[in-house]
Each structure stands twice: as C-alpha cells, then as structure tokens.
Amino acid sequence: MADNKENFLKKNIHENTVDSVLLICAPCNDDADYEWITEAGIHNALIPFRKWFESMDTDYQFEINYGNPWDESIVDGMTLYVNVIAKASLRTRPWTKEDMMMFKLKFSDKLPIHDLGPYIEEALRSEEGTDSN
C-alpha cells in the first residue's frame, strides 16, 4: 500500500510508467535580450527527440527550467543553466520501461546535451538564410 501511495503522490499510478528523462542541461546567457537565441537552440536540440516520440506514437511533453544544473555531475553555482526534461503526457498511455529502454538505446550517447552552441549556430544560420530571401 505504501508503494501505491508514493506512486500516486508522484502522479505515477502505473507500475510500468517511467517519470522523465533529462535531455538538456547546458549553460546559457542570463541576459533577457538573448533569450530568443537560447530558445531557438533548445528548439533545434529537441527536434530529434520530438521526431522519435512521434514516430513511436508516444505522447510527451517538454518542461524547461532555468537555474541550477539538474545534471548531478556538474558543480557550478555561478552560471545560469537551462534544463529540459521530457515527460510522458499520459493523454493516451504512460511510457513503459520498454519505451524508455528504446529511447536510451537510441539517444544514450547524446544525453544530456551540455552545449547548446551548435544548435544556436544552426538557428542563427537558418535565420540569416531567411533574411536574405
């Protein structure tokens, strides 16, 4: 009974549900003028994950948090970090252990993303390409 109560309090009422996975834990500029650049980098970084969830017909949601790093291997209290997690949205079905296993097999070498630089550069290049047309 205690396990069921704990699962219920965590909004995890299905035994096979997997709560969430950290996708991005990267330093970012804390200047509000650059927020759109960070958001463009986040958008580009999430594309492969979004495509995978959609190809697996798996409901998901991304949650973004700014502040301390969520990756326990990072010890840095002076830098602003953006953290993005993916969670099952539970509209149709919860993620199962098998879903998470497939996800980790596909992306384990890429998680979490610690550098948004390449994704921001890609966003800026595509922005420049649309300005010249």
**Per-residue model confidence as pLDDT tens digits over 64-93:** 999 888 888 888 778 899 999 998 876 767
Count of helices and strands (H, E) across the chain: 4, 3
Percent of the chain past pLDDT 90, that is, above it, reads 38
Indicate whether 22 pLDDT > 50.
yes
What per-residue confidence (pLDDT) applies to 96? 81
Within 8 A by CB and 6+ apart from 113, the residues are 23, 24, 25, 26, 45, 119
What per-residue confidence (pLDDT) applies to 75? 84
Indicate whether 132 pLDDT > 70.
no
What per-residue confidence (pLDDT) applies to 112? 94
- C-alpha 100/C-alpha 103 separation (Å) is 5
For 76, the token pair is 């840095």
Question: What stretches of 10-111 show up as alpha helix (H) in DSSP?
Answer: 35-55, 97-107
For 67, the token pair is 């502040």
Which residue, chain included where needed, has tokens 């291997």? 73
Instruction: Kindly list the domain boundaries of the chain, sorted by start residue.
Output: 28-124
What per-residue confidence (pLDDT) applies to 117? 95
For the ranges 11-25, 44-58, 97-111, the lowest mean pLDDT is seen at 11-25
Q: Give yes or no for a cis peptide into 94 (omega within 30° of 0).
A: no
Q: What is the mean pLDDT of the segment spanning 22-48?
A: 92
What per-residue confidence (pLDDT) applies to 127? 75
Indicate whether 9 pLDDT > 60.
no
